[in-house]
């Protein structure tokens, strides 16, 4: 089978690595890919947010199955266009992907199916939004309704901060994504991620993870795309996961089907857990990054069978085969990230690291120049390891980090501290 993966990050490198372990994969193309992906698969230049271009490429290259990594191609209708062209695709339709692309839509669905989440309201008018905040007080959460590359959420500590966020969002800071603002009660507890596959009817859990969003150790400083992750997430015990499945995820999938918008793909539920009770923070219509790196390390080649069954509506016949293991990924980022950072510094030592089913360096923002790997983004490497315990996975991951010679790279030394 010829497979195309869309995307260029650590998530897509991890997906490619897992897919290649499955003998069903005869040929793997990743568009656009990165230096790490280029070492294991074909990379192709392609505008992955252009549905026509993706369909044209898939037809020309006799692609049998397309796996969509990031959210932007989903929102742009790439999955719909591939389905219309008769090409099997893993990734929801644009309408179903509104579970990520519209915060207000998700809240409506939660209300309709009774899924526990924070109390909320939506506004297009700044005056009305400000009055709501003044009446509710702080802390309070202010979100741009649409996709804002992870930057459209403000946890306001004061009413003034909330008012400023409302003015920013409705004032155009996020363009069309900020035409509407969603305001939610602040939730306390511990956050964790719950990943399921849905073929529109059947829901199959495929793992849990926790990531570290802040740049600084002790979970301090500005938010990032994620500085590390581990799986499983101890806070998401079997009991809590079952509650999340029965009270949040299954009702959501059923409500989507009832509305004639079947959800087909991975559904990533960001949960807040307090006193053993999960509530929904948000949905993503794609795999998490860097959570995918630890999930793929644990799932290996069966990930392709699961994604195929999901796309073909056969999830009811599938089950996940778990090793009783743990995985951790440590993100190495360019100094300065998530603020301004330089590109182009040389990363040495990667070719000395043994990579196998327990040790992998997944590339995010890298490029190859001759035989040299250079940093080419904010989050650059995902140093990932598996072990019988989380402590073993951690020791292996940090052991690999020590073997990487990149003076311009920074990383957190406390990934997994809550769980350990």
What is the closest distance, in whole angstroms, from the C-beta atom of residue 284 to ligand GLY in the complex?
A: 5
User: Cα(367)–Cα(381) distance, rounded to whole angstroms?
Assistant: 11
Tokens of residue 207, six digits: 């793992």
3-state secondary structure of 94: coil
Using the rule CB under 6 A, which residue among 145, 211, 255, 408 binds ligand GLY?
A: 211
Q: How far is the CB of 177 from ligand GLY (least distance, A)?
A: 15
Considering beta carbons, is residue 234 or 270 the nearer one to ligand GLY?
270
Count the neighbouring beta carbons within 10 Å of the beta carbon of residue 166: 25
Per DSSP, the residues of 280-303 read EEEEESS--TTHHHHHHHHHTTHH
d(CA 95, CA 330): 34
Q: Closest separation between CB of residue 247 and ligand GLY, Å? A: 22
Q: Tell me if 416 sits within 8 A of 401, measured CB to CB.
A: no
Q: How far is the CB of 197 from ligand GLY (least distance, A)?
A: 17
Q: For ligand GLY, which is the closer residue by CB, 283 or 406?
A: 283
**288 contributes a contact to ligand GLY by CB under 6 A:** yes
- Which helix (H) or strand (E) segment holds residue 375: the answer is strand 372-375
226 binds ligand GLY (CB under 6 A): yes
DSSP bridge pairs for 284: 268
Options 151-159, 288-296, 326-334, 409-417: segment touching ligand GLY (CB under 6 A): 288-296
CB 286 to ligand GLY: min, Å:
8
Applying CB under 6 A, the span of 254-262, 282-290, 335-343, 380-388 interacting with ligand GLY comes to 282-290
The nearer residue to ligand GLY, 76 or 364, going by C-beta atoms, is 364
Using CA atoms, how far apart are residues 164 and 129, in angstroms rounded to an integer? 11
Site membership for ligand GLY, residue 69 (CB under 6 A): no
**Other CB atoms within 10 Å distance of the CB of residue 351:** 9
Q: What is the CB-side half-sphere exposure of residue 385 using CA atoms within 13 A?
A: 21
Number of residues near ligand GLY (by CB under 6 A) = 6
Q: Given candidates 284, 293, 366, 382, which one binds ligand GLY under the rule CB under 6 A?
A: 284
Q: Is 210 in the site for ligand GLY (CB under 6 A)?
A: no
How buried is residue 17: exposed, middle or buried, by Cβ count under 10 Å (0-12/13-18/19+)? buried
| Residue selected from 145, 199, 291, 376 as contacting ligand GLY according to rule CB under 6 A | 291
CB of 259 vs ligand GLY, minimal distance in Å: 25
Q: Among 385, 405, 181, 186, which residue's Cα sits nearest to residue 296?
A: 385
Instruction: For residue 83, give the DSSP letter.
Output: H
Q: In what order do the strands lie in the sheet with 140-144?
A: 120-123, 181-185, 140-144, 153-156
Three-state DSSP at 132 gives helix
Tell me the window of 88-96, 115-123, 247-255, 286-294 that interacts with ligand GLY (CB under 6 A): 286-294
Closest CB to ligand GLY among residues 226, 232: 226
**Which of 77, 288 has the CB closer to ligand GLY?**
288
Shortest Cβ distance from residue 152 to ligand GLY (Å)?
Answer: 12
Residues that bind ligand GLY (CB under 6 A): 211, 226, 284, 288-289, 291
């Amino acid at each position: 089978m010829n497979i195309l993966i869309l995307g260029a990050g650590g998530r897509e490198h991890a997906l490619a690595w897992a897919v290649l372990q499955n003998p069903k994969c005869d040929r793997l193309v990743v568009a656009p890919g990165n230096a790490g992906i280029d070492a294991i698969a074909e990379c192709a230049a392609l505008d992955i947010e252009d549905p026509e271009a993706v369909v044209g490429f898939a037809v020309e290259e006799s692609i049998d199955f397309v796996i969509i990594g990031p959210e932007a191609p989903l929102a742009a209708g790439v999955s719909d266009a591939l389905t219309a062209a008769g090409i099997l695709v893993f990734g929801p339709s644009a309408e179903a992907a509104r579970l990520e692309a519209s915060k207000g839509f998700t809240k409506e669905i939660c209300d309709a199916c009774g899924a526990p989440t924070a109390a909320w309201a939506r506004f297009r008018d700044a005056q009305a939004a400000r009055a709501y905040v003044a009446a509710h007080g702080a802390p309070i959460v202010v979100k741009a309704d649409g996709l804002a590359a992870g930057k459209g959420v403000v946890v306001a500590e004061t009413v003034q901060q909330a008012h400023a966020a409302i003015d920013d969002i409705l004032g155009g800071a996020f363009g069309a994504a900020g035409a509407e603002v969603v305001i939610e009660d602040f939730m306390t507890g511990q956050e964790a991620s719950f990943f399921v596959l849905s073929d529109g009817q059947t829901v199959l859990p495929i793992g849990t993870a926790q990531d570290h969003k802040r740049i600084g150790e002790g979970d301090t400083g500005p938010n990032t795309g994620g500085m590390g992750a581990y799986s499983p997430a101890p806070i998401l015990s079997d009991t809590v996961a079952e509650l999340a499945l029965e009270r949040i995820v299954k009702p959501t999938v059923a409500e989507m089907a009832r509305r004639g918008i079947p959800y087909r793909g991975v559904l990533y539920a960001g949960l807040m857990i307090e006193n053993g009770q999960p509530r929904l923070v948000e949905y993503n219509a794609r795999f998490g990054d860097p959570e995918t790196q630890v999930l793929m390390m644990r799932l290996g080649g069966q990930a392709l069978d699961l994604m195929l069954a999901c796309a073909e509506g056969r999830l009811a016949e599938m089950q996940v085969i778990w090793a009783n293991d743990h995985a951790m990924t440590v993100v190495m980022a360019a100094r300065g990230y998530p603020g301004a950072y330089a590109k182009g510094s040389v990363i040495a030592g990667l070719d000395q690291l043994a990579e196998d089913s327990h040790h992998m360096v997944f590339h995010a923002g890298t490029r190859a120049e001759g035989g040299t790997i250079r940093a080419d983004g904010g989050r650059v490497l995902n140093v990932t390891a598996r072990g019988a315990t989380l402590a073993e996975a951690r020791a292996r991951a940090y052991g690999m980090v020590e073997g990487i010679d990149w003076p311009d790279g920074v990383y957190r030394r406390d990934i997994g501290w809550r769980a350990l």
